[in-house]
Amino acid sequence: MDPDEFREFGKASVDYIANYFKDLRKLPVISSVEPGYLSASLPELPPRKGEKWQKVFTDVDKMILPGLTHWHSPHFHAYFPTANSYPGIVGELMLSGLGCLSKDWESNPACVELEVRVMDWLCKMLGLPEEFLNESDGPGGGVIQNAASESTLVGLLCGRQRSVKTILTKNPHLTPEEIRGKLVAYTSKESNSSVEKASLLASVPMRLLPTDNQCRLRGSTLREAVEKDKAAGLIPCCVVASLGTTGTCAIDELEELGIVCRENNIWLHVDAAYAGAALVCPEYRHLMKGVEYTDSFNFNPHKWFLTNSDCSAMWFKNTKDAEEAFKVKSLIEQEPQYEYEIEHWQIPNCRRFRALKLWFVLRIYGVQGIQKHIRHHVGLAKYFEKLVRSDDRYEVLISCLGVVCFRLKGEDQLTQRLLDRIAERKKLFIMPYYIQSKLVIRFVICSRLTEKEDIDYAWNEILSLTPVAKKELTS
Ligand code: PLP
């Protein structure tokens, strides 16, 4: 493909995407294809000779589109928002086009310096502790990781290493292996499954602790677990707290957890993958009360912050802890070329130029534009909650930011029947969840395109499918 053809192909793709967003509301949010629909029409071998891009392009409409779940449809209310915006899309295109990676500063000065600066912008936008700033006098700093899962793993590995180092200093007769064998970490049973995965990867057992009736992890529960483990000769090294769990957007009691962590020299990592975005609005900053206790903090601009995937922001109170965990011996002696060695605060060797798309989003939306987006979504969730509460057949169990968990009063079967009908009709995409063993419908405001009319549409769809009497369960 030559540059002129690339120009045509690229322009056609941009037109395609613009039309896709224009017509998205009309497309069915969930596809109706059967398993294997695509494999049946794809050849078993790749083409021997290259094909024209126009031909491949036509197949997107013919073969791919019918099997897509439209995550940006205004009728998509499942999982969590997946960020998408025009500045984010173009940013992603530009960073792919420029195609450069970075390691240390010398490998790509613009990539590293932009990342350092936009992470400081973000930190200030969210009102996070100044200790996290790259530009602060202390050892704090921030870096863009690929996913919240990776940030949690990084936090856990840092906590593991800090504990090993502290115990070794006090007990030089022990070996790191002996200490590692005794480490233990904690999170709530409501945490994202990536937290448990991090424990598998780091070989540190993770206690999944019970929560209160609002699905929050409390300090007293943590304290009890830590004391029990210490009495058994184990070494608590890390707590992963959620600022917005995946199920219900529950906010763990950071301050209570932080006090226990500080008393026991436990690393506190905060997973704010979704809800962290709301901190851009000062009125939601009370949710992070106790954040000053955290050693590492993460949120995903690629969830609710208009920045296309992948982009996960992570800050450390002390980046030396990360360097201690990740800086390999052969590099320790090298003189750093730049004061921020962000390449040692992550797992991969090289980084994509994600800072570029984040910079596009931050500059083109501005702080006010992003606040408007968050407030709009929270307003839509509140509106939906009001509709649910206005019908006394329903109850709202938990509502936080853009997430509303509700159910039909009475036996779970009623809610299950409703969920089955919604799934059969495919007009909305919503998901079930269990709160304290009760089945609920988890309704999330996801798409940037969702408006009040879409909430009315969703509620009318739900109402029209609501089982009217217990008798209906058996019909
Ligand atoms: N943490 C929370 C609270 C989440 O909701 C999710 C995903 O929804 C994750 C972590 C995992 O995010 P990622 O896909 O960026 O690893």
CA distance 166 to 118: 33
Convert the pLDDT of each residue in 394-421 to its tens digit.
999 999 999 999 999 999 999 999 999 9
Please give the tally of structural domains in the chain.
1
Q: Tell me, what CATH number does 293's domain have?
A: 3.40.640.10
The number of beta carbons lying within 10 Å of the beta carbon of residue 309 is 18
Q: Which atom of ligand 1 is nearest to the CA of 151?
A: 16
Q: 423, 415, 424, 428: which is closest to 384 by C-alpha?
A: 428
Task: Report pLDDT digits (tens) over 345-384.
Answer: 999 999 999 999 999 999 999 999 999 999 999 999 999 9
Q: Is residue 54 part of a domain?
A: no
The pTM of this model reads 0.95
Distance 393 CA to ligand 1 centre (A): 33
What ipTM does this complex have? Answer: 0.98
Residue 263: give the domain boundaries.
Answer: 100-352
Tell me if 411 sits within 8 A of 404, measured CB to CB: no
List phi, psi (to 5°) of 258: -60, -40
225 part of a folded domain = yes
**CA of residue 331 to ligand 1 center, whole Å:** 32
Instruction: Give the C-alpha separation, 340 to 298, whole Å.
Output: 19
DSSP 309: S
Instruction: Tell me if 37 is assigned to some domain.
Output: no
Q: Are 215 and 246 in contact (CB under 8 A)?
A: no
Tokens of 454: 């879409």
Report which residue type is found at 395: E
Question: pLDDT value at position 331?
Answer: 66
Would you say residue 324 lies in a domain? yes
Q: Which of 309, 232, 243, 231 is nearest to 273 (CA)?
A: 243
User: Ligand 1 pocket check: which of 79, 144, 149, 354 to mutate, most ligand atoms within 8 Å of Cβ?
Assistant: 149
Residue 117 lies in a domain: yes
Asked if residue 347 belongs to a domain, the reply is yes
* Of 195, 216, 271, 347, best ligand 1 pocket probe by most atoms within 8 Å of the beta carbon: 271
For ligand 1, is residue 183 a contact (CB within 6 Å)? no
Determine, yes or no, domain membership for 166.
yes
Atom of ligand 1 nearest to the CA of 80: 8
- Collapse the DSSP code of 324 into the 3-class scheme (helix H, G, I; strand E, B; otherwise coil) and give the result: helix
Atom of ligand 1 nearest to the CA of 191: 3
Q: Which residues pair with residue 298 across a beta bridge?
A: 271, 314
Take atom 12 of ligand 1 and give the residue whose Cα is closest.
148
112 occurs within a structural domain: yes
Cβ neighbours of residue 268 closer than 8 Å, sequence gap 6 or more: 238, 239, 241, 254, 257, 258, 261, 293, 294, 295, 296
Q: Which of 262, 179, 164 is nearest to 222 (CA)?
A: 262
Residues (pLDDT < 50) of the chain are: none
The DSSP code for 203 is T
